[in-house]
Amino acid sequence: MALVTPRPAIQPLVRYTSQVKGKREGQVIRLSVNEGALGPSPLATAALDRIKPGLHRYPPIDLDHLTDAIAAHHGIPDARRIIVGCGSDELLATLCQAYVDPGDEVIVTQYAFVLFTHLTLMSGGVPVKADDQGYTASVDNILASVSARTKMVFLANPNNPTGTYLSRAEVQRLRDGLPETVLLVLDAAYAEYVERNDYSAGAAMVDAFENVVMLRTYSKFYGMAGLRLGWAYCPEDIANTLASVKPPYGVNLGAVEAGIATLEDHDFHALSLRHNVDMIAWFGAQMTALGLTVEPTVANFVMLRFPATAGRDAAAARVFLDQRNILVRALADYGLPEHVRISMGTTEEMQTTVAAIREFMQSTVAADG
């Protein structure tokens, strides 16, 4: 037993391991973490070139030029209530540190993003799972899980890994059914990809209520996962709380400048969106033709269901693809052992992936006779 023991609350947490270990970065087709398909915007990389001479300086403490740009781009009325972080991961962690006391309950959905549970446990909080209906979050089940100890509800909308979403009306019904003392965290990491009239990421609800926070990220649609930049739009009290507990230099200079520049690249935004719509449709059709079940998605990834037969199931598919340097996310740890999650890559990457999955389906059929 170690002499210096970690807090009991974090002992169940396992160390995050990378699938890429032992593989050379340039050789893999990485469809396992939902990064933007088309790489960064050229305006973002140009911004990184411009900051090189000032790298010995701390980034500015006052980030108004970034938060003003975010507010203008996203139609947010009050830039002062935007808090930026080192990825939305940091903001999720800060929310837990600031609001979850040991013993507090935090409601997550059945197939919630793993980090929600992880961060809740880090704070000594108690994750409470609300069953989905099919693969979609259930407002009724979330509301039925509320107790006197509930402090927070995490809702990824759209959800990762399922790719499903709740409509504006359903999120409103959720908010209205919660006690005012419970914080509703809307994690809209994939909002930019959603093309549905009844969807909203939640900014208007943040303006209307004291207990709703919306989180956004540059890691997916904006293709900046490596720079780590996310932001939270908050009611005033919560913005002040987060700002007072966060470390002052949490966002690096490259993230700040590239974060502003990338918002100006409207061609990149249009191209990224069109590419995703096309890829989701094309890839889905190819998979359906192979007899696989493609779960509906509004994001930049899709859940594929493999047959439960040994040798051609999801676990075997993941290993088969891994051996061909195509990384996808198996979902057994999410309680979805028959599914893998595949992010949309470039057209060429997806063609290679379709060919590999076809080979997998055919080779296993042949092996069985």
Ligand X SMILES: *Cc1c(COP(=O)(O)O)cnc(C)c1O
Q: Could you list the residues that contact ligand X (CB under 6 A)?
A: 34, 87-89, 113, 156, 160, 187, 189, 217, 219-220, 225, 230
- The minimum distance between CB 34 and ligand X, in angstroms, equals 6
| Residue ranges in the chain assigned as alpha helix (H) | 42-51, 64-74, 87-99, 114-122, 139-144, 168-177, 203-208, 236-245, 253-263, 266-289, 314-323, 347-367
- Our CB check for ligand X shows the closer of 113 and 199 to be 113
- The minimum distance between CB 187 and ligand X, in angstroms, equals 5
d(CA 148, CA 179): 9
- The minimum distance between CB 301 and ligand X, in angstroms, equals 9
- Our CB check for ligand X shows the closer of 89 and 257 to be 89
- The minimum distance between CB 89 and ligand X, in angstroms, equals 3
- Our CB check for ligand X shows the closer of 87 and 345 to be 87
Tokens at residue 366, please? 């042949």
- Our CB check for ligand X shows the closer of 36 and 235 to be 36
- The minimum distance between CB 44 and ligand X, in angstroms, equals 15
Residue type, 251: V
- Our CB check for ligand X shows the closer of 275 and 329 to be 329
Is residue 81 packed enough to be buried (19+ CB in 10 Å), middle (13-18) or exposed (0-12)? buried
- Our CB check for ligand X shows the closer of 155 and 361 to be 155
3-state secondary structure of 40: coil
- Our CB check for ligand X shows the closer of 120 and 364 to be 120
- The Cα-based distances of 290 to 113, 158, 163, 287, 344 in angstroms read 29, 27, 21, 5, 18
d(CA 251, CA 26): 27
Neighbours of 296 (CB within 10 A): 15
- Our CB check for ligand X shows the closer of 138 and 300 to be 300
Contacts by 8-14 with C-beta closer than 8 Å and gap 24+? 9/102, 9/121, 9/122, 9/123, 9/124, 10/121, 10/122, 12/121, 13/118, 13/121, 13/122
Is residue 271 packed enough to be buried (19+ CB in 10 Å), middle (13-18) or exposed (0-12)? middle
d(CA 324, CA 309): 22
- The minimum distance between CB 114 and ligand X, in angstroms, equals 9
- The minimum distance between CB 116 and ligand X, in angstroms, equals 8
The 3-state DSSP composition of the chain as helix, strand, coil percent (nearest 5) reads 45, 15, 40
> Using an 8 Å Cβ cutoff, are 37 and 345 in contact?
yes
- The minimum distance between CB 329 and ligand X, in angstroms, equals 11
- The minimum distance between CB 87 and ligand X, in angstroms, equals 3
d(CA 30, CA 19): 10
> Using an 8 Å Cβ cutoff, are 363 and 323 in contact?
no
- Our CB check for ligand X shows the closer of 85 and 125 to be 85
| Residue nearest ligand X, Cβ-based | 87
d(CA 311, CA 38): 33
- The minimum distance between CB 352 and ligand X, in angstroms, equals 24
- Our CB check for ligand X shows the closer of 188 and 287 to be 188
